[in-house]
């Protein structure tokens, strides 16, 4: 079990108030409006694999740290692009992690993993080279028990809503199976999120083929830009029918622009012919954000924007092991100029709800908080990816509250594929918010009853309302 004062300040007065505030949120249902858990995990409800395949192989937080110290992903079981053999012995992979556990000191990865081992699986033996087999065997035994299968854990975690993330090309079969099963649990449900990046980003290899496939799935002629937009609208309707309340857009930048119908069609046609330039690809992505904003106003999907990652910066890692294995790097992002075309048209339309995330925390106080504080449609997304550490969460509250307050923020999102870590990540965010509000109470900037209401809003009511989950629950 976690230490009762985990992440609380050493000051006794603040710590005592933080304990009281956290107690108000500790057992609230979990709202997970953005993440990357595979819905088939819940639909299939099959037992998890061995501990290495659950906690090491798919976790790029773990594998990238080990790569930084010269341990190649192949030795950690990360699949290769060309089928070159990689390590398949889970125990050997686990021994490699344990022998290098010191590398994770002070990192959120260590905190998440240790709290997951203890709080979710009841394994409180400290991991080390000497205890590697003991921890592996204890976890293996737990994973064999029916109480540790995905659906049982979903219910035990107290998840009210879990949003997954799918491409418009996905047939949503896993979600259909969940619906047929009446999923799930007391008050719990799994919904999808519309993520169209793979049919928007011309720089992504195979874009034209995927656009053609989009037409087949939607029953539209995507050889024309008009048909392409119709296909996207059709797929959004299918996602909404499967429970979606939001879309998500992971663009390299926050740029938006209006090319006009003819200009957008010309760039689209160049993309299909294979003659589009990098500038064309960026302008098309920027134009499509305006198109998606218009669609959101029409159909009500909350629009999430996740810009600022240089994808596959480690080209060797991408060429050897593919996408989403730890080769991405954050970069500076301009939100003021980037979002101006979109916000000048739709920023004050109450039908639009735009949740903006960043990997560039220098923009929280300079750009994003003022934007959220100045436009009715803009909300601040939780610290994401490289920033969702306890210290990153603290800095976030300090950076945005002065300008945007609490109620222009959208609540915590776990943004993870690591299903078993979800309750731990939410507990950490709730502890950080309890500590921050406790400090405001001791500084006489917030009344105790206001702090109590605020921490519950941040943990539960805000994400439920802003992501329109209260509407879909009705």
Positions of the chain with pLDDT lower than 50, given as ranges: 185-186, 472-474
Report the 10 Å Cβ neighbour count for 141: 12
HSE-up (13 A, CA, CB side) for residue 87: 20
Question: The whole model's pTM is what?
Answer: 0.96
* Spatial separation of the C-alpha atoms in residues 251 and 270, rounded to whole Å: 20
Residues sharing a CB contact under 8 Å with residue 321, sequence separation 6 or more, in sequence order: 73, 74, 78, 79, 80, 81
Torsion angle (degrees, nearest 10) of CA 412, 418, 423, 427: -50
For position 471, what pLDDT does the model report? 65
Q: How many residues does the chain have?
A: 474
Neighbouring CB atoms inside 10 A of 302's CB total: 23
Locate 77 and state its tokens: 């079981």
What is the predicted pLDDT for the residue at 236?
Answer: 98
pLDDT digits (tens, 9 = 90+) for 76-93: 999 999 999 999 999 999
Distances (CA, A) of 361 to 254, 368, 387, 405: 14, 9, 8, 17
Question: Tell me, what's the pLDDT at 115?
Answer: 97
Q: What span, in angstroms and rounded, lies between the C-alpha atoms of 219 and 205?
A: 23
* SS3 assignment, position 209: helix
Q: Which domains does the chain have, with CATH numbers?
A: 12-47+146-473 (3.20.20.140), 48-145 (1.10.2020.10)
Q: For 276-306, what is each residue's pLDDT tens digit? A: 999 999 999 999 999 999 999 999 999 999 9
CB–CB of 320/282 below 8 Å? no
């Amino acid at each position: 079990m976690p230490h009762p004062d985990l992440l609380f300040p050493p000051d006794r007065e603040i710590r005592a108030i933080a304990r009281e505030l956290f107690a108000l949120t500790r057992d609230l249902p979990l709202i997970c409006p953005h993440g990357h858990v595979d819905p088939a995990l819940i639909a299939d409800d099959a037992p998890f694999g061995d501990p290495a395949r659950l906690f090491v192989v798919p976790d790029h937080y773990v594998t990238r740290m080990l790569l930084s110290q010269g341990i190649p992903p192949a030795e950690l079981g990360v699949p290769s692009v060309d089928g070159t053999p990689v390590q398949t012995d889970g125990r050997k992979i686990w021994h490699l992690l344990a022998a290098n556990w010191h590398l994770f000191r002070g990192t959120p990865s260590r905190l998440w993993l240790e709290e997951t081992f203890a709080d979710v699986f009841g394994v409180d033996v400290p991991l080390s080279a000497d205890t590697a087999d003991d921890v592996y065997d204890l976890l293996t035994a737990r994973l064999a028990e029916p109480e540790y299968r995905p659906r049982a854990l979903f219910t035990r975690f107290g998840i009210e809503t879990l949003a997954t993330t799918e491409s418009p090309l996905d047939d949503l079969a896993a979600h259909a199976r969940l619906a047929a099963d009446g999923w799930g649990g007391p008050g719990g449900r799994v919904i999808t999120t519309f993520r169209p990046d793979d049919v928007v980003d011309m720089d992504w290899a195979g874009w034209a083929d995927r656009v053609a496939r989009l037409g087949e799935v939607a029953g539209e002629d995507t050889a024309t830009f008009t048909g392409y937009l119709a296909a996207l609208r059709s797929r959004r309707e299918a996602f909404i029918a499967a429970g979606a309340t939001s879309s998500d857009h992971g663009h390299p930048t926050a740029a938006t622009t209006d090319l006009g119908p003819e200009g957008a069609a010309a760039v689209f046609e160049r993309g299909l012919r294979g003659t589009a330039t990098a500038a064309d690809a960026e302008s098309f992505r920027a134009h499509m954000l305006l198109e998606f904003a218009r669609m959101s106003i029409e159909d009500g999907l909350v629009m999430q924007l996740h810009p600022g990652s240089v994808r596959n910066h480690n080209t060797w890692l991408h060429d050897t092991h593919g996408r989403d294995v730890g080769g991405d790097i954050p970069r500076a992002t301009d939100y003021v100029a980037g979002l101006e075309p979109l916000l000048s048209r739709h920023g004050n339309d109450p039908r639009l709800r735009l949740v903006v995330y960043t990997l560039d925390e220098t923009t929280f106080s300079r750009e994003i908080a003022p934007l959220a504080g100045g436009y009715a449609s803009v909300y601040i997304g939780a610290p994401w990816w490289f920033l969702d550490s306890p210290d990153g969460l603290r800095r976030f509250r300090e950076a945005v509250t002065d300008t945007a307050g609490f109620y222009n923020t959208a609540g915590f999102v776990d943004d993870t594929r690591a299903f078993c870590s979800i309750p731990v990540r939410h507990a950490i965010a709730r502890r950080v918010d309890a500590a921050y509000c406790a400090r405001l109470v001791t500084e006489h900037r917030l009344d105790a009853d206001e702090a109590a209401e605020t921490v519950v809003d941040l943990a539960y009511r805000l994400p439920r309302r802003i992501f329109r989950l209260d509407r879909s629950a009705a």
